[in-house]
């Protein structure tokens, strides 16, 4: 946040959509995800005047990932249109994230044989 006297620049992030009972486009497991929108804005007396750098993200709950969505897909979702999100619409910083438990979705160290949270076997 940048603020000088009566004007400033701030970042705003908010959820614009949520999907439940779907196949995750990132990991392929059954779960749910949220669509987030983030942008910067210039304000005078806390009244927003200009927005820029609008980006859309998908936050998955099954694999605990936050990845960037294509701009056109995000704007269609924000407009209320029904869109099927495919793997090619998603851009993750690193595809090889820490493994997660297939039973409880907890983030795990790669060397674990059993999940320390739920006790299920990881089948390694």
The pLDDT of residue 64 is: 79
Task: Name the token pair of 116.
Answer: 């320390």
pLDDT at 100 over 60: yes
Distance, in Å, from the CA atom of 37 to the CA atom of 1, rounded to the nearest integer, reads 17
Percent composition of the chain: helix, strand, coil (DSSP 3-state, to 5): 10, 50, 45
Distance, in Å, from the CA atom of 122 to the CA atom of 97, rounded to the nearest integer, reads 16
* DSSP SS3 for 10: strand
pLDDT at 98 over 70: no
- Residue 83 near residue 98 (C-beta atoms within 8 A): no
pLDDT tens sequence across 3-46: 566 888 899 999 999 999 899 888 888 889 999 999 999 989 87
* DSSP SS3 for 78: helix
Q: Where are the domains of the chain?
A: 2-91, 98-124
Q: Which residues, 6 or more positions from 19, have their beta carbon under 8 angstroms from its beta carbon?
A: 32, 33, 34, 35
């Amino acid at each position: 946040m940048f603020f000088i006297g009566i004007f400033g620049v701030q970042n705003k992030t908010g959820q614009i959509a949520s999907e439940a009972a779907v196949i995750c486009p990132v990991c392929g497991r059954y779960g749910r995800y949220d669509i987030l929108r983030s942008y910067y804005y210039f304000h005078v007396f806390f009244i927003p005047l200009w927005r820029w750098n609008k980006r859309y993200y998908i936050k998955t709950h099954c694999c605990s990932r936050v990845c960037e969505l294509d701009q056109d897909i995000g704007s269609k979702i924000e407009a209320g249109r029904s869109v099927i999100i495919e793997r090619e619409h998603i851009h993750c910083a690193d595809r090889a994230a820490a493994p997660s438990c297939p039973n409880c979705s907890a983030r795990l160290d790669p060397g674990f044989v059993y999940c320390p949270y739920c006790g299920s076997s990881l089948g390694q």
